[in-house]
Structure 1
């Protein structure tokens, strides 16, 4: 005990010391409680190790992920900034065509065709029709105003659709926003390089390629677009650069092309049709299939209604009256003519132009429609179903101005094979007028005589040549008019030999037959080849009084917005080939072909016509070319592979096509007399030959038309020449 008397501070024993000096033990209950914490500590240690292990893995993954994400974000930010820094003002992004456009006007200055890529002028998101603005948003990107350039939800939805339809995750639907589509239209900022791509089409195809890497590259470019431009400016780029079929680049051009109006005034139905083109321009173009375009437009209208862009009344009104093509777009006339006339101007202002060009042409859309309709009518009613026979038609004025051109039975895309200008075919008897043109110019008259009798000509290097008539009969002594009227082969060869093949060849060439004309006696029977356009132009020279013509379609060409043409022409008449009197004599002879000869099926009711049939060997080609006082028209019929026609001659279906074409062409026009001279009949000389199968009858010629000029007999020299020629030929 201390001196203070206080007890020392000692902690109380928790347990009393047991007797015997042993260590005290806690009660049994307490011992049990003491052991439980030790076992729990052991268990927490095991799970702690496990949790610590997974925690470590997570920290490693998280550490790597956020660092990688940070690095990726920095890369994306850097690339985005790189793209952002290169982007020009929005106005410079609207029209970046590598090619310009050509707008073709007919003779009345109405648009009938376009070539190249037409840019109709800048259309902004603020000045286009509200219907068009909303239709594009509803169809292409309903969350356009809520995302920053990409839409994860849209991409996920597209992947799900692609997988469900058995495609790859990024094949088919891409889930692209409008901003991403603009990135594709801009080719991610890569300009067109003609040294790298063969064509602009190849360049654009490369820009539109899908795939993972393309999507990855689109992301920073889309972010840059969103950072550089406002939403309305991005829409403006889209409205101007999107291709919408039929050569239309941008919604303004498409609205003009399909509806003949500006994009700022299209109604709901028209806006829906235009927006529907974005999915597949060539497929849904109304010029390709109006019904398909209308069906697609209905889906767009339904989307607009679903997203409350249209009221119920507006939706019902647009559904009741779907969009239709303008008159010019619906007509779709002159495809072959447009292709041909594009070749009339220099390439740098036509097919390779970088400018927007306006081309005025000679086309008459009424006549073009008449020619197309007539050809379709004859093939529908008089040609067996399934026939692959083809035909071509050309209609022109006497000065060579081409008013209509049909290069085949079907309405085909631009650039297709044009049988009127590209097919070089044997002309057959359609060539014979040039033989008689040469004779007329040397003093013969239609009333002079030629002997139709067996003939054999010894051709040096080739041996004997014996022409035969189509009927295998000989008519004896006949007039030149009768010889052409009945298309007598032997008579044509006799005249050709009499006047000289070189003379005949020169006359034909001067009239515009540019092919390599045959050198032998078969020249007179059309053994040489020519195109329908050349032959029709040559016949135009007969109608105009004997002067050559160059068929033409281009009147003038100017840059859009300019009033002064860069180039142009007033007509196609060239040098005189034969005299006016000779041309009028020949016109009379060809008139008789239609009135009484092989071309009777071409006769026009109440209107004078002249023409000539032509059928080549084995009937591989059949022709009828002729004219009235107003127009010249040529028809060719045959197979592209030179298969012989079955039961067709120039005086058959081609003459009927010609008759149908010219009947429609002259509808509403007063009849005019042909410029022809009817010769006075003459007594024949003593015949040298008489076919026993044919009883010769002398033609009774008289002038029944007071408007036709009567010409007195003024060819005693021609009589003497003819008698000498017949005497010489009679001995062969």
Structure 2
């Protein structure tokens, strides 16, 4: 049997020349490798193998995850809070937007009106109340003024949306660096925010609330964080409601600029006597400088300080391109100057008196803008002020606290000048001419002799000057004495008045009747309570200087009473028809014209040959009366020429006795200095006086009289006359 040969074992060819159908690939459970993953795999394989610890890399991964978590949490809280804040701001802005009125309703926000006072020539000399010169706009004012405001307050005004985050951050940084709270001191407020503050966020002042205007304004200026947030919302609402120029217009009309001026038109009129549309770069810079501290930098308070502040503003305007180098140099070389009315600051006491004596609803508490024309004569006012200053600088010892007051009027009671104290450039100060009631002393005696003349007594009638006593029920024995402690025997009434003898004055008063004396004085305008006892004749009653001067004006005008007045016309701003006219003038007749003329003749002897010789005016006839109260606490001289009546009082506010001063001394000298200046350039006129008929015959001198020694020949004054004058100067008359 044949065995079959097995075929040799041959390995299969790996690659076949013939293409065969590919078998389906087995599905793998692993994901298909991406190029990036493959690259990482190759990198790991190529890197040398290291032995890794079990926990290697875990802390770093944990911290990374924690940081991402915290960041996400903070961001989540932050954007939610920010969204809430933005929503609240939007709601606040929307609310404030709905409350904003038309721009024109916000231009004049004063709680009270203004009073502008004109002198007798119609020129402005004083302002009272909140002065508002009228509406100005960003287009109507001088471009220099507009630029000064922008340069000073908010140079990015036309670029922000009502608030300036950069400015707020800068202000907080400065406040903290200076040791203050973040919102104390520099505010970083934009001009829009300042306007919002001026508007008090829309809360108008209500006088019925019981809150004062100062308290209201302090409330509006609160600097708390919540108030700042409200202020920002209101500012952005204004930016949405009004144009930039409208916001600037509101600001320019409502800003307080010192000296009672509200708005730039009022300030320009107040300080420079011109409209805000006419101010120069130097004047605009001074007005812009007021915004930071109106009272401190007001030029009426300190012109040099205001000019220095203006130079700073000029520098800002130059740096920001609002002024050329030449314009800036011109502004610095020629700083702004006050108008004559503003620099004089004349008649402050007079203006206060007119305000106090006028109708309250048109003066002190007016809600309207009022124009008052007055009797003030600026030339005479300056004369009185200069006279006061001259005497106190040259005749009063240095350091003296004594005060004085002056009133000048015409014979119908029109007050032409008034000085209520040594400080003349004041407003709202205590006015000693109208508010100080003081004993009149012998200045009251003309009313005693007026009563006697009215009854028909002659100035040559006689009375015995001798030691004299009276029994006063309830008071005991009273013995008046002359200041010189000397008696002159039988004297005429004219001698008794010119030498200011007390005993004859009391005797005459008792003879004609105290009630008549009291009536004559009261009818002439002495409204104060008059003493009931015999000391009435010696001026123990109190009166004010303006009352006494007005009473003497009644003597000059022929015996008719006068009511001193300063107001001649009152009208509302913008209206031609006055609401009221003269507030005083000549009233009822008190004594006969003949009696008044004889009394003037007697009072002329006081100045020409009596206790008032120091008041004599060269070339003019003058009449008057000295007065010194008990213990020399008050010294007076009141007198007149044919044209003017003037009164002077001197004393201490605390009633301290004067040292070596009587009515015939310093008050007479102040009166003379005043009247010399008042009559400068006027032609002398004679007094309307009448010398009585029948000169008296010389009377024998009683034994108790101490006669004067005759004066030596040649016009000199003897020792007796000198001693007599010294005694009068010491004890008064």
TM-score of the pair, normalised by structure 1: 0.90
Q: Report the counterpart of residue 387 of structure 1 in structure 2.
A: 400
- Residue 160 of structure 1 deviates from its aligned partner by 2.7
Q: Report the counterpart of residue 724 of structure 1 in structure 2.
A: none
Distance 1:10 1:528 in 2: 138
Q: Which has the larger radius of gyration?
A: 2
Distance 2:55 2:210 in 1: 73
- Residue 681 of structure 1 deviates from its aligned partner by 4.5
Alignment map for 1:474-623 (pairs within 5 Å): 474-569=487-582, 571-623=584-636
Q: Report the counterpart of residue 202 of structure 1 in structure 2.
A: 215
- 140, 143, 147: which one aligns with 1:130: 143
SS of equivalent residue, structure 1 residue 451? strand
Distance 1:123 1:580 in 2: 58
- Residue 488 of structure 1 deviates from its aligned partner by 0.4
Distance 2:243 2:226 in 1: 26
- Residue 506 of structure 1 deviates from its aligned partner by 0.5
Determine if contact 2:345/2:426 at 8 Å carries over to the other structure: no
Q: Report the counterpart of residue 93 of structure 1 in structure 2.
A: 106
Name which of structure 1's ranges 688-697 and 518-527 shifts more when overlaid on structure 2: 688-697
Distance 1:454 1:696 in 2: 22
Distance 2:600 2:495 in 1: 13
SS of equivalent residue, structure 2 residue 611? coil
SS of equivalent residue, structure 1 residue 633? strand
Q: Report the counterpart of residue 186 of structure 1 in structure 2.
A: 199
Distance 2:189 2:704 in 1: 85
Determine if contact 2:346/2:425 at 8 Å carries over to the other structure: no
- Residue 380 of structure 1 deviates from its aligned partner by 1.0
Determine if contact 2:567/2:583 at 8 Å carries over to the other structure: no
Determine if contact 1:252/1:262 at 8 Å carries over to the other structure: yes
Distance 2:413 2:470 in 1: 38
Distance 1:595 1:2 in 2: 172
**Which whole-Å deviations, capped at 9, do the CAs of 1:332-359 have from their partners, x for residues lacking one?**
1111111111123221111111111111
Q: Report the counterpart of residue 317 of structure 1 in structure 2.
A: 330
Distance 2:308 2:10 in 1: 114
Name which of structure 1's ranges 655-664 and 204-213 shifts more when overlaid on structure 2: 204-213
Does structure 1 residue 81 correspond to structure 2 residue 55?
Answer: no
- Residue 42 of structure 1 deviates from its aligned partner by 4.9
Query: Aligned in 2, Cα 1:381/1:46: closer, same or farther, shift over 3 Å?
Result: same
Determine if contact 2:345/2:425 at 8 Å carries over to the other structure: no
Distance 2:566 2:94 in 1: 53
Determine if contact 2:438/2:542 at 8 Å carries over to the other structure: yes
**Which whole-Å deviations, capped at 9, do the CAs of 1:189-220 have from their partners, x for residues lacking one?**
11112233532232122212223222122110
Q: Report the counterpart of residue 81 of structure 2 in structure 1.
A: 68
**Which whole-Å deviations, capped at 9, do the CAs of 1:619-665 have from their partners, x for residues lacking one?**
11000000000010000000000011111100010000000111111
Does structure 1 residue 640 correspond to structure 2 residue 679?
Answer: no
- 374, 378, 383: which one aligns with 1:361: 374
Does structure 1 residue 158 correspond to structure 2 residue 171?
Answer: yes
Determine if contact 1:449/1:684 at 8 Å carries over to the other structure: no
- Residue 48 of structure 1 deviates from its aligned partner by 2.0
Name which of structure 1's ranges 471-480 and 194-203 shifts more when overlaid on structure 2: 194-203
Distance 2:301 2:699 in 1: 67
Query: Aligned in 2, Cα 1:9/1:683: closer, same or farther, shift over 3 Å?
Result: closer
Distance 1:172 1:503 in 2: 69
**Which whole-Å deviations, capped at 9, do the CAs of 1:252-299 have from their partners, x for residues lacking one?**
110011111110110000000000000111111111111111111011
Q: Report the counterpart of residue 303 of structure 1 in structure 2.
A: 316
Query: Aligned in 2, Cα 1:110/1:694: closer, same or farther, shift over 3 Å?
Result: same
SS of equivalent residue, structure 1 residue 625? strand
- Residue 684 of structure 1 deviates from its aligned partner by 4.7
- 89, 108, 115: which one aligns with 2:128: 115
Q: Report the counterpart of residue 663 of structure 1 in structure 2.
A: 676
Distance 1:571 1:59 in 2: 85
Does structure 1 residue 344 correspond to structure 2 residue 354?
Answer: no
SS of equivalent residue, structure 2 residue 357? coil
Distance 1:10 1:259 in 2: 105
Name which of structure 1's ranges 212-221 and 278-287 shifts more when overlaid on structure 2: 212-221
Q: Report the counterpart of residue 718 of structure 2 in structure 1.
A: none
Determine if contact 2:441/2:538 at 8 Å carries over to the other structure: yes
Does structure 1 residue 454 correspond to structure 2 residue 445?
Answer: no
- Residue 150 of structure 1 deviates from its aligned partner by 1.3
Distance 2:315 2:672 in 1: 51
- Residue 34 of structure 1 deviates from its aligned partner by 4.4
Query: Aligned in 2, Cα 1:688/1:232: closer, same or farther, shift over 3 Å?
Result: same
Does structure 1 residue 233 correspond to structure 2 residue 251?
Answer: no
Q: Report the counterpart of residue 712 of structure 1 in structure 2.
A: none
- Residue 161 of structure 1 deviates from its aligned partner by 2.6
Q: Report the counterpart of residue 231 of structure 2 in structure 1.
A: 218
Query: Aligned in 2, Cα 1:10/1:95: closer, same or farther, shift over 3 Å?
Result: closer
SS of equivalent residue, structure 2 residue 695? coil
Determine if contact 1:285/1:293 at 8 Å carries over to the other structure: yes
**Which whole-Å deviations, capped at 9, do the CAs of 1:458-511 have from their partners, x for residues lacking one?**
111111110000000001111111111010011111111111111100100000
SS of equivalent residue, structure 1 residue 239? helix
Distance 2:570 2:635 in 1: 36
Name which of structure 1's ranges 301-310 and 273-282 shifts more when overlaid on structure 2: 301-310
TM-score of the pair, normalised by structure 2: 0.89
- Residue 543 of structure 1 deviates from its aligned partner by 0.2
Query: Aligned in 2, Cα 1:191/1:43: closer, same or farther, shift over 3 Å?
Result: farther
- Residue 412 of structure 1 deviates from its aligned partner by 5.2
Determine if contact 1:473/1:694 at 8 Å carries over to the other structure: no
Does structure 1 residue 435 correspond to structure 2 residue 487?
Answer: no
Distance 2:488 2:260 in 1: 60
Name which of structure 1's ranges 161-170 and 123-132 shifts more when overlaid on structure 2: 161-170
SS of equivalent residue, structure 1 residue 145? coil
Query: Aligned in 2, Cα 1:570/1:529: closer, same or farther, shift over 3 Å?
Result: closer
Query: Aligned in 2, Cα 1:294/1:585: closer, same or farther, shift over 3 Å?
Result: same
SS of equivalent residue, structure 1 residue 404? strand
Distance 2:643 2:457 in 1: 27
Distance 2:643 2:246 in 1: 56
Determine if contact 1:399/1:573 at 8 Å carries over to the other structure: yes
**Which whole-Å deviations, capped at 9, do the CAs of 1:534-566 have from their partners, x for residues lacking one?**
000000000000000011111121111111111
Unaligned runs of 5+ in 1: 12-28, 699-732
Unaligned runs of 5+ in 2: 1-8, 16-22, 27-43, 712-733
Name which of structure 1's ranges 669-678 and 570-579 shifts more when overlaid on structure 2: 570-579
Alignment map for 1:165-184 (pairs within 5 Å): 165-184=178-197
- Residue 384 of structure 1 deviates from its aligned partner by 1.3
Determine if contact 2:411/2:553 at 8 Å carries over to the other structure: yes
- Residue 247 of structure 1 deviates from its aligned partner by 0.8
- Residue 679 of structure 1 deviates from its aligned partner by 1.9
Distance 1:46 1:164 in 2: 43
Determine if contact 1:197/1:203 at 8 Å carries over to the other structure: no
Query: Aligned in 2, Cα 1:416/1:30: closer, same or farther, shift over 3 Å?
Result: closer
